[in-house]
Chain A
Protein backbone atom coordinates (compact mmCIF):
# COMPACT_ATOMS: atom_id res chain seq x y z
CA UNK A 1 0.00 0.00 0.00
CA UNK A 2 1.11 3.50 -0.34
CA UNK A 3 1.16 3.44 -4.09
CA UNK A 4 0.59 6.83 -5.43
CA UNK A 5 -2.73 7.01 -7.17
CA UNK A 6 -1.90 10.09 -9.16
CA UNK A 7 -0.33 8.20 -12.06
CA UNK A 8 -3.46 6.22 -12.50
CA UNK A 9 -5.72 9.12 -13.16
CA UNK A 10 -5.20 8.88 -16.88
CA UNK A 11 -7.17 5.71 -16.93
CA UNK A 12 -10.72 5.37 -15.83
CA UNK A 13 -10.70 6.89 -12.43
CA UNK A 14 -13.32 4.81 -10.71
CA UNK A 15 -11.00 2.54 -8.91
CA UNK A 16 -9.95 4.27 -5.79
CA UNK A 17 -6.60 3.15 -4.49
CA UNK A 18 -7.89 3.10 -0.96
CA UNK A 19 -5.90 6.04 0.27
CA UNK A 20 -7.81 8.68 -1.57
CA UNK A 21 -8.61 11.78 0.45
CA UNK A 22 -12.07 12.35 2.00
CA UNK A 23 -13.04 14.78 -0.76
CA UNK A 24 -14.07 11.72 -2.69
CA UNK A 25 -16.56 10.71 -0.07
CA UNK A 26 -20.20 10.88 -0.89
CA UNK A 27 -21.54 14.02 0.75
CA UNK A 28 -25.13 13.85 -0.44
CA UNK A 29 -27.45 10.89 -0.66
CA UNK A 30 -30.13 9.96 -3.12
CA UNK A 31 -33.44 11.43 -2.14
CA UNK A 32 -31.81 14.09 -0.01
CA UNK A 33 -33.10 17.62 -0.16
CA UNK A 34 -30.32 20.08 -0.73
CA UNK A 35 -29.63 23.63 -1.78
CA UNK A 36 -28.04 24.02 -5.17
CA UNK A 37 -26.36 26.90 -6.90
CA UNK A 38 -27.60 27.72 -10.33
CA UNK A 39 -26.40 30.89 -11.88
CA UNK A 40 -26.23 33.59 -9.24
CA UNK A 41 -28.91 32.07 -7.11
CA UNK A 42 -29.59 29.13 -4.86
CA UNK A 43 -32.53 26.81 -5.28
CA UNK A 44 -33.95 24.02 -3.24
CA UNK A 45 -33.33 20.74 -5.02
CA UNK A 46 -33.46 17.02 -4.54
CA UNK A 47 -30.71 14.58 -5.33
CA UNK A 48 -32.07 11.97 -7.71
CA UNK A 49 -28.88 10.03 -8.29
CA UNK A 50 -25.35 10.01 -7.00
CA UNK A 51 -22.47 8.61 -9.01
CA UNK A 52 -18.73 8.48 -8.67
CA UNK A 53 -17.20 9.62 -11.92
CA UNK A 54 -13.51 10.02 -12.38
CA UNK A 55 -12.92 10.07 -8.64
CA UNK A 56 -15.49 12.79 -8.10
CA UNK A 57 -19.01 12.45 -6.87
CA UNK A 58 -21.61 13.82 -9.20
CA UNK A 59 -25.23 14.37 -8.34
CA UNK A 60 -28.22 14.42 -10.62
CA UNK A 61 -30.50 17.01 -9.10
CA UNK A 62 -34.07 18.10 -9.63
CA UNK A 63 -34.93 21.68 -8.77
CA UNK A 64 -38.08 21.72 -6.73
CA UNK A 65 -40.91 23.51 -8.43
CA UNK A 66 -39.13 23.46 -11.78
CA UNK A 67 -39.93 21.34 -14.78
CA UNK A 68 -37.79 18.22 -14.90
CA UNK A 69 -36.17 19.48 -18.09
CA UNK A 70 -33.97 21.51 -15.76
CA UNK A 71 -32.64 18.39 -14.00
CA UNK A 72 -28.89 18.13 -14.36
CA UNK A 73 -25.64 16.61 -13.14
CA UNK A 74 -23.70 18.84 -10.77
CA UNK A 75 -20.63 18.48 -8.62
CA UNK A 76 -20.52 18.77 -4.87
CA UNK A 77 -19.19 22.29 -5.23
CA UNK A 78 -22.63 23.38 -6.40
CA UNK A 79 -24.50 21.83 -3.51
CA UNK A 80 -25.04 22.63 0.14
CA UNK A 81 -26.82 20.88 2.94
CA UNK A 82 -30.30 22.07 3.65
CA UNK A 83 -29.67 23.92 6.88
CA UNK A 84 -31.02 27.11 8.38
CA UNK A 85 -27.69 28.79 7.74
CA UNK A 86 -27.63 27.90 4.08
CA UNK A 87 -31.23 28.90 3.65
CA UNK A 88 -30.19 32.32 4.92
CA UNK A 89 -27.56 32.38 2.18
CA UNK A 90 -30.27 31.59 -0.31
CA UNK A 91 -32.44 34.39 0.94
CA UNK A 92 -29.53 36.77 0.90
CA UNK A 93 -28.87 36.00 -2.74
CA UNK A 94 -32.55 36.42 -3.52
CA UNK A 95 -32.43 39.87 -1.98
CA UNK A 96 -29.32 40.71 -3.91
CA UNK A 97 -30.99 39.77 -7.12
CA UNK A 98 -33.80 42.07 -6.15
CA UNK A 99 -36.24 39.30 -6.71
CA UNK A 100 -39.43 39.21 -4.77
CA UNK A 101 -40.63 35.61 -4.47
CA UNK A 102 -43.91 36.58 -6.02
CA UNK A 103 -42.37 38.56 -8.84
CA UNK A 104 -43.75 38.18 -12.28
CA UNK A 105 -40.56 38.52 -14.29
CA UNK A 106 -40.72 36.65 -17.51
CA UNK A 107 -43.99 34.94 -16.76
CA UNK A 108 -46.56 37.31 -18.12
CA UNK A 109 -46.35 35.46 -21.40
CA UNK A 110 -47.59 32.36 -19.74
CA UNK A 111 -51.17 33.48 -19.44
CA UNK A 112 -51.48 33.83 -23.18
CA UNK A 113 -51.40 30.50 -24.93
CA UNK A 114 -49.12 30.52 -27.91
CA UNK A 115 -48.30 28.63 -31.01
CA UNK A 116 -45.21 26.52 -30.62
CA UNK A 117 -43.08 29.04 -32.52
CA UNK A 118 -44.02 31.82 -30.17
CA UNK A 119 -43.59 29.58 -27.19
CA UNK A 120 -40.04 28.82 -28.24
CA UNK A 121 -39.31 32.53 -28.46
CA UNK A 122 -40.76 33.03 -24.99
CA UNK A 123 -38.64 30.22 -23.69
CA UNK A 124 -35.67 32.22 -24.89
CA UNK A 125 -36.95 35.24 -22.99
CA UNK A 126 -37.41 33.18 -19.86
CA UNK A 127 -33.90 31.91 -20.31
CA UNK A 128 -32.59 35.45 -20.21
CA UNK A 129 -34.58 36.80 -17.29
CA UNK A 130 -34.19 33.72 -15.16
CA UNK A 131 -30.56 32.95 -14.46
CA UNK A 132 -30.76 29.47 -15.89
CA UNK A 133 -28.99 29.83 -19.17
CA UNK A 134 -28.64 26.20 -20.08
CA UNK A 135 -29.87 24.70 -23.28
CA UNK A 136 -33.01 22.84 -22.63
CA UNK A 137 -33.85 19.39 -23.88
CA UNK A 138 -37.06 19.67 -25.81
CA UNK A 139 -39.39 17.11 -24.46
CA UNK A 140 -42.61 15.73 -25.83
CA UNK A 141 -43.53 19.26 -26.75
CA UNK A 142 -46.76 19.24 -24.86
CA UNK A 143 -45.18 20.06 -21.52
CA UNK A 144 -43.67 23.45 -22.18
CA UNK A 145 -41.15 24.54 -19.68
CA UNK A 146 -42.99 27.39 -18.08
CA UNK A 147 -42.60 26.62 -14.42
CA UNK A 148 -40.59 28.99 -12.32
CA UNK A 149 -39.32 29.31 -8.79
CA UNK A 150 -41.00 32.65 -8.47
CA UNK A 151 -44.34 30.97 -8.75
CA UNK A 152 -44.40 29.62 -5.20
CA UNK A 153 -47.72 30.81 -3.89
CA UNK A 154 -47.50 32.79 -0.69
CA UNK A 155 -49.94 31.58 1.90
CA UNK A 156 -50.04 33.96 4.77
CA UNK A 157 -51.19 32.06 7.83
CA UNK A 158 -52.97 34.27 10.40
CA UNK A 159 -50.95 34.80 13.56
CA UNK A 160 -53.32 33.07 15.94
CA UNK A 161 -53.15 30.02 13.71
CA UNK A 162 -49.39 30.24 13.65
CA UNK A 163 -49.47 30.14 17.41
CA UNK A 164 -51.75 27.13 17.15
CA UNK A 165 -49.08 25.42 15.07
CA UNK A 166 -46.41 26.18 17.62
CA UNK A 167 -48.59 24.84 20.44
CA UNK A 168 -49.25 21.78 18.28
CA UNK A 169 -45.51 21.28 17.84
CA UNK A 170 -45.00 21.68 21.55
CA UNK A 171 -47.69 19.17 22.54
CA UNK A 172 -46.47 16.49 20.21
CA UNK A 173 -42.72 16.87 20.07
CA UNK A 174 -41.95 18.31 23.48
CA UNK A 175 -44.66 16.88 25.69
CA UNK A 176 -45.15 13.52 23.99
CA UNK A 177 -48.86 14.10 23.63
CA UNK A 178 -51.17 13.13 20.81
CA UNK A 179 -54.33 14.43 19.25
CA UNK A 180 -57.16 12.18 20.33
CA UNK A 181 -58.57 10.41 17.30
CA UNK A 182 -61.02 10.32 15.67
CA UNK A 183 -61.66 14.03 15.66
CA UNK A 184 -64.96 15.80 15.63
CA UNK A 185 -65.29 17.91 13.63
CA UNK A 186 -63.03 16.10 11.18
CA UNK A 187 -61.53 17.60 8.04
CA UNK A 188 -64.54 16.56 5.95
CA UNK A 189 -66.87 18.31 8.37
CA UNK A 190 -64.84 21.48 8.36
CA UNK A 191 -64.67 21.64 4.57
CA UNK A 192 -68.41 21.08 4.37
CA UNK A 193 -69.08 23.78 6.89
CA UNK A 194 -66.95 26.16 4.92
CA UNK A 195 -68.86 25.42 1.72
CA UNK A 196 -72.13 26.10 3.52
CA UNK A 197 -70.76 29.33 4.89
CA UNK A 198 -69.64 30.45 1.44
CA UNK A 199 -72.88 29.42 -0.21
CA UNK A 200 -74.80 31.62 2.17
CA UNK A 201 -72.52 34.52 1.36
CA UNK A 202 -72.15 34.07 -2.39
CA UNK A 203 -75.47 32.60 -3.32
CA UNK A 204 -75.11 30.33 -6.30
CA UNK A 205 -71.67 30.43 -7.94
CA UNK A 206 -69.81 28.19 -5.53
CA UNK A 207 -68.44 25.90 -8.24
CA UNK A 208 -64.93 27.24 -7.92
CA UNK A 209 -64.90 27.03 -4.16
CA UNK A 210 -66.33 23.53 -4.35
CA UNK A 211 -63.59 22.36 -6.68
CA UNK A 212 -60.89 23.92 -4.54
CA UNK A 213 -62.27 22.24 -1.43
CA UNK A 214 -62.21 18.92 -3.23
CA UNK A 215 -58.61 19.69 -4.07
CA UNK A 216 -57.82 20.38 -0.43
CA UNK A 217 -59.42 17.12 0.68
CA UNK A 218 -57.53 15.25 -2.02
CA UNK A 219 -54.22 16.77 -0.96
CA UNK A 220 -54.97 16.10 2.68
CA UNK A 221 -55.76 12.43 2.18
CA UNK A 222 -52.60 11.87 0.19
CA UNK A 223 -50.33 14.18 2.15
CA UNK A 224 -51.21 13.20 5.69
CA UNK A 225 -49.19 10.00 5.97
CA UNK A 226 -46.52 11.30 3.61
CA UNK A 227 -45.63 14.66 5.10
CA UNK A 228 -48.02 15.91 7.75
CA UNK A 229 -47.16 13.71 10.70
CA UNK A 230 -44.54 14.21 13.34
CA UNK A 231 -42.48 11.09 13.90
CA UNK A 232 -44.18 10.46 17.21
CA UNK A 233 -47.58 10.32 15.57
CA UNK A 234 -46.79 7.52 13.13
CA UNK A 235 -47.65 4.71 15.46
CA UNK A 236 -51.03 6.23 16.19
CA UNK A 237 -51.62 6.63 12.47
CA UNK A 238 -50.90 2.97 11.82
CA UNK A 239 -53.24 1.95 14.58
CA UNK A 240 -56.14 4.19 13.69
CA UNK A 241 -56.12 4.55 9.94
CA UNK A 242 -56.71 1.38 7.98
CA UNK A 243 -56.50 0.83 4.25
CA UNK A 244 -59.90 1.95 3.14
CA UNK A 245 -60.27 4.83 5.55
CA UNK A 246 -59.50 8.33 4.39
CA UNK A 247 -57.56 10.54 6.79
CA UNK A 248 -60.04 13.36 6.25
CA UNK A 249 -62.62 11.36 8.19
CA UNK A 250 -60.30 10.77 11.13
CA UNK A 251 -58.11 13.83 11.55
CA UNK A 252 -59.22 17.39 12.15
CA UNK A 253 -58.17 21.01 12.12
CA UNK A 254 -54.81 20.41 13.82
CA UNK A 255 -53.49 18.36 10.92
CA UNK A 256 -55.39 20.28 8.27
CA UNK A 257 -53.55 23.39 9.35
CA UNK A 258 -50.23 21.67 8.81
CA UNK A 259 -51.29 21.08 5.22
CA UNK A 260 -51.34 24.82 4.70
CA UNK A 261 -47.73 25.07 5.80
CA UNK A 262 -46.91 22.73 2.92
CA UNK A 263 -49.41 24.06 0.41
CA UNK A 264 -47.05 26.31 -1.56
CA UNK A 265 -44.71 23.39 -2.14
CA UNK A 266 -47.53 21.13 -3.24
CA UNK A 267 -48.79 23.62 -5.77
CA UNK A 268 -45.31 24.06 -7.18
CA UNK A 269 -45.67 20.64 -8.79
CA UNK A 270 -48.61 21.67 -10.91
CA UNK A 271 -48.46 24.38 -13.52
CA UNK A 272 -51.09 27.06 -13.00
CA UNK A 273 -51.51 30.40 -14.71
CA UNK A 274 -50.37 33.31 -12.64
CA UNK A 275 -53.71 35.12 -12.48
CA UNK A 276 -55.44 31.92 -11.50
CA UNK A 277 -52.84 31.26 -8.84
CA UNK A 278 -53.59 34.65 -7.32
CA UNK A 279 -57.30 33.93 -7.22
CA UNK A 280 -56.60 30.54 -5.71
CA UNK A 281 -54.40 32.13 -3.10
CA UNK A 282 -57.20 34.51 -2.15
CA UNK A 283 -59.66 31.67 -1.76
CA UNK A 284 -57.24 29.72 0.40
CA UNK A 285 -56.70 32.80 2.56
CA UNK A 286 -60.43 33.11 3.00
CA UNK A 287 -60.58 29.53 4.15
CA UNK A 288 -57.85 30.16 6.68
CA UNK A 289 -59.72 33.14 8.03
CA UNK A 290 -62.71 30.88 8.44
CA UNK A 291 -60.58 28.48 10.45
CA UNK A 292 -59.36 31.36 12.55
CA UNK A 293 -62.88 32.60 13.18
CA UNK A 294 -63.85 29.16 14.41
CA UNK A 295 -60.60 28.41 16.11
CA UNK A 296 -62.09 27.58 19.48
CA UNK A 297 -64.58 25.08 18.11
CA UNK A 298 -62.37 23.47 15.47
CA UNK A 299 -59.10 23.09 17.37
CA UNK A 300 -58.24 21.20 20.51
CA UNK A 301 -56.80 23.26 23.31
CA UNK A 302 -55.29 20.22 24.93
CA UNK A 303 -53.95 16.95 23.65
CA UNK A 304 -53.97 13.56 25.32
CA UNK A 305 -51.13 12.51 27.55
CA UNK A 306 -48.68 9.82 26.39
CA UNK A 307 -50.49 6.76 25.03
CA UNK A 308 -53.71 8.73 25.24
CA UNK A 309 -55.44 6.98 22.40
CA UNK A 310 -55.38 3.40 23.39
CA UNK A 311 -55.33 3.71 27.13
CA UNK A 312 -57.47 1.02 28.62
CA UNK A 313 -58.18 -0.57 25.28
CA UNK A 314 -55.78 -3.37 25.86
CA UNK A 315 -54.00 -3.07 22.53
CA UNK A 316 -50.97 -4.58 24.11
CA UNK A 317 -48.44 -2.17 22.68
CA UNK A 318 -44.94 -3.30 23.38
CA UNK A 319 -42.80 -0.24 23.74
Chain B
Protein backbone atom coordinates (compact mmCIF):
# COMPACT_ATOMS: atom_id res chain seq x y z
CA UNK B 1 0.00 0.00 0.00
CA UNK B 2 1.68 3.11 -1.16
CA UNK B 3 -1.02 5.44 0.16
CA UNK B 4 -0.60 7.31 3.42
CA UNK B 5 2.15 6.28 5.80
CA UNK B 6 1.24 3.40 8.02
CA UNK B 7 1.36 4.10 11.72
CA UNK B 8 4.34 2.37 13.32
CA UNK B 9 2.19 1.04 16.11
CA UNK B 10 0.23 -1.04 13.72
CA UNK B 11 3.11 -2.89 12.23
CA UNK B 12 3.78 -6.34 13.48
CA UNK B 13 7.03 -6.87 15.21
CA UNK B 14 7.70 -3.24 15.85
CA UNK B 15 7.53 -2.12 19.43
CA UNK B 16 4.85 0.42 20.22
CA UNK B 17 7.46 2.35 22.10
CA UNK B 18 9.95 2.54 19.31
CA UNK B 19 10.02 6.10 18.12
CA UNK B 20 12.07 5.35 15.10
CA UNK B 21 10.71 5.10 11.65
CA UNK B 22 10.76 1.74 9.99
CA UNK B 23 13.22 1.60 7.14
CA UNK B 24 11.78 2.44 3.74
CA UNK B 25 9.37 -0.30 3.02
CA UNK B 26 9.86 -2.63 0.17
CA UNK B 27 8.32 -5.93 -0.71
CA UNK B 28 10.69 -8.01 1.40
CA UNK B 29 11.29 -5.57 4.28
CA UNK B 30 10.32 -7.89 7.10
CA UNK B 31 13.73 -9.43 7.86
CA UNK B 32 15.29 -5.96 7.70
CA UNK B 33 12.75 -4.64 10.19
CA UNK B 34 13.49 -7.49 12.50
CA UNK B 35 17.16 -6.71 12.29
CA UNK B 36 16.47 -3.09 13.10
CA UNK B 37 14.34 -4.06 16.06
CA UNK B 38 17.02 -6.45 17.28
CA UNK B 39 19.58 -3.69 16.95
CA UNK B 40 17.48 -1.24 18.91
CA UNK B 41 16.69 -3.75 21.61
CA UNK B 42 20.38 -4.50 22.07
CA UNK B 43 21.15 -0.83 22.28
CA UNK B 44 18.49 -0.33 24.94
CA UNK B 45 19.94 -3.27 26.88
CA UNK B 46 23.36 -1.69 26.60
CA UNK B 47 22.06 1.54 28.04
CA UNK B 48 21.32 -0.20 31.31
CA UNK B 49 25.06 -0.42 31.77
CA UNK B 50 26.04 2.72 29.85
CA UNK B 51 23.49 5.44 30.58
CA UNK B 52 23.22 8.09 27.85
CA UNK B 53 23.90 10.88 30.32
CA UNK B 54 27.41 9.53 30.77
CA UNK B 55 28.03 10.32 27.12
CA UNK B 56 28.18 13.96 28.08
CA UNK B 57 30.74 13.78 30.82
CA UNK B 58 34.48 13.36 30.98
CA UNK B 59 34.20 9.58 30.73
CA UNK B 60 32.21 9.72 27.50
CA UNK B 61 34.78 8.15 25.21
CA UNK B 62 35.11 5.11 27.44
CA UNK B 63 31.35 4.85 27.71
CA UNK B 64 31.13 4.97 23.93
CA UNK B 65 33.83 2.33 23.71
CA UNK B 66 31.79 0.20 26.09
CA UNK B 67 28.73 0.57 23.86
CA UNK B 68 30.75 -0.34 20.78
CA UNK B 69 32.00 -3.46 22.48
CA UNK B 70 28.58 -4.45 23.80
CA UNK B 71 26.98 -4.22 20.38
CA UNK B 72 29.89 -5.95 18.73
CA UNK B 73 29.53 -8.91 21.07
CA UNK B 74 25.74 -9.07 20.88
CA UNK B 75 25.37 -8.66 17.15
CA UNK B 76 28.65 -10.10 16.03
CA UNK B 77 29.80 -7.25 13.85
CA UNK B 78 31.85 -4.13 14.14
CA UNK B 79 30.28 -0.84 15.15
CA UNK B 80 32.02 2.45 14.65
CA UNK B 81 31.62 5.23 17.21
CA UNK B 82 29.57 7.22 14.72
CA UNK B 83 27.23 4.33 14.07
CA UNK B 84 26.58 3.98 17.77
CA UNK B 85 25.91 7.68 18.13
CA UNK B 86 23.53 7.63 15.20
CA UNK B 87 21.66 4.74 16.75
CA UNK B 88 21.39 6.61 20.00
CA UNK B 89 20.13 9.59 18.11
CA UNK B 90 16.97 7.64 17.34
CA UNK B 91 16.09 7.65 21.01
CA UNK B 92 17.86 10.56 22.60
CA UNK B 93 18.76 14.08 21.78
CA UNK B 94 22.20 13.84 23.30
CA UNK B 95 22.76 17.57 23.18
CA UNK B 96 19.80 18.07 25.47
CA UNK B 97 21.15 15.74 28.11
CA UNK B 98 22.62 17.67 30.95
CA UNK B 99 26.00 16.33 32.02
CA UNK B 100 25.88 15.47 35.68
CA UNK B 101 28.79 17.65 36.75
CA UNK B 102 27.84 17.57 40.38
CA UNK B 103 28.11 13.84 40.46
CA UNK B 104 30.74 12.66 42.83
CA UNK B 105 33.77 12.05 40.72
CA UNK B 106 37.43 11.97 41.47
CA UNK B 107 37.94 14.71 38.89
CA UNK B 108 35.93 17.16 40.95
CA UNK B 109 38.38 17.06 43.80
CA UNK B 110 41.66 18.93 43.42
CA UNK B 111 44.72 17.44 45.01
CA UNK B 112 48.46 17.45 44.48
CA UNK B 113 49.94 14.54 42.60
CA UNK B 114 51.51 11.94 44.81
CA UNK B 115 53.56 8.98 43.63
CA UNK B 116 52.57 5.88 45.59
CA UNK B 117 55.15 4.30 47.87
CA UNK B 118 55.29 1.15 45.78
CA UNK B 119 57.16 2.99 43.06
CA UNK B 120 60.06 3.62 45.40
CA UNK B 121 60.56 0.01 46.27
CA UNK B 122 63.25 -1.76 44.30
CA UNK B 123 61.74 -4.56 42.28
CA UNK B 124 63.19 -7.73 40.93
CA UNK B 125 63.79 -7.19 37.21
**A residues apposed to B, CB below 8 Å:** 31, 46, 48, 62, 64, 68, 84, 110, 113-114, 119, 142-144, 146, 159, 162, 165-166, 168-169, 205, 207-208, 210-212, 214-215, 218-219, 222-223, 225-231, 258, 261-262, 265-273, 275-276, 279-280
Chain B nearest CB from A165 CB (Å) reads 6
Chain B nearest CB from A148 CB (Å) reads 13
Residues of A with C-beta under 8 A to B58: 218-219, 222
Do residues B66 and A273 form an inter-chain contact, with CB atoms below 8 A? yes
Do residues A212 and B65 form an inter-chain contact, with CB atoms below 8 A? yes
Residues of A with C-beta under 8 A to B64: 211
Residue of B nearest to A216 (CB): B61
Bound-state CA distance A84–B119 (Å) is: 13
Residue of B nearest to A213 (CB): B61
Do residues A68 and B104 form an inter-chain contact, with CB atoms below 8 A? yes
Do residues B66 and A165 form an inter-chain contact, with CB atoms below 8 A? no
Chain A nearest CB from B64 CB (Å) reads 6
Partner of B49, one of A31, A113, A208: A113
Do residues A218 and B107 form an inter-chain contact, with CB atoms below 8 A? no
Do residues A113 and B48 form an inter-chain contact, with CB atoms below 8 A? yes
Known A-B contacts A208-B68, A218-B61, A276-B70; the reply to A226 vs B107 at CB < 8 A is: yes
Residues of B with C-beta under 8 A to A227: 106-107, 109-113
Chain A nearest CB from B53 CB (Å) reads 9
Q: Any chain A CB within 8 A of the CB of B13?
A: no
Size band of the interface chain B makes with A = 35 or more
From residue 82 to 125 of chain B, which have CB atoms closer than 8 A to chain A? 103-113, 115-117, 119-120, 123, 125
Residues of A with C-beta under 8 A to B104: 46, 48, 62, 68, 269
Bound-state CA distance A237–B58 (Å) is: 21
Q: Any chain A CB within 8 A of the CB of B80?
A: yes
Known A-B contacts A166-B120, A207-B80; the reply to A215 vs B113 at CB < 8 A is: no
Known A-B contacts A166-B119, A227-B106, A230-B112; the reply to A113 vs B59 at CB < 8 A is: no
Residues of A with C-beta under 8 A to B107: 222-223, 226-227, 266, 269
Residue of B nearest to A228 (CB): B113
Chain A nearest CB from B69 CB (Å) reads 4
Chain B nearest CB from A167 CB (Å) reads 11
Residues of A with C-beta under 8 A to B103: 68
What are 15 sample pairs from A and B whose C-beta atoms fall under 8 A apart?
A68-B103, A84-B117, A143-B51, A159-B125, A207-B80, A208-B65, A212-B65, A215-B61, A215-B65, A222-B107, A226-B109, A272-B62, A273-B66, A273-B69, A276-B65
Bound-state CA distance A207–B77 (Å) is: 13
Do residues A46 and B66 form an inter-chain contact, with CB atoms below 8 A? no
Q: Any chain A CB within 8 A of the CB of B14?
A: no
Partner of A270, one of B45, B63, B73, B108: B63
Do residues A31 and B109 form an inter-chain contact, with CB atoms below 8 A? yes
- Which of the listed residues A168, A228, A276 has the most CB atoms from chain B within 10 Å of its own CB? A276
Chain A nearest CB from B56 CB (Å) reads 12
Partner of A265, one of B45, B66, B106: B106
Q: Any chain A CB within 8 A of the CB of B39?
A: no
Residues of A with C-beta under 8 A to B120: 166
Residues of B with C-beta under 8 A to A214: 61
Bound-state CA distance A279–B59 (Å) is: 17
Chain A nearest CB from B113 CB (Å) reads 5
Do residues A271 and B49 form an inter-chain contact, with CB atoms below 8 A? yes
Bound-state CA distance A89–B80 (Å) is: 45
Known A-B contacts A207-B80, A211-B61; the reply to A113 vs B46 at CB < 8 A is: yes
Known A-B contacts A62-B104, A113-B48, A261-B116; the reply to A270 vs B62 at CB < 8 A is: yes
Residue of B nearest to A227 (CB): B111
Q: Any chain A CB within 8 A of the CB of B32?
A: no
Chain A nearest CB from B61 CB (Å) reads 3
- Which of the listed residues B49, B78, B105 has the most CB atoms from chain A within 10 Å of its own CB? B49
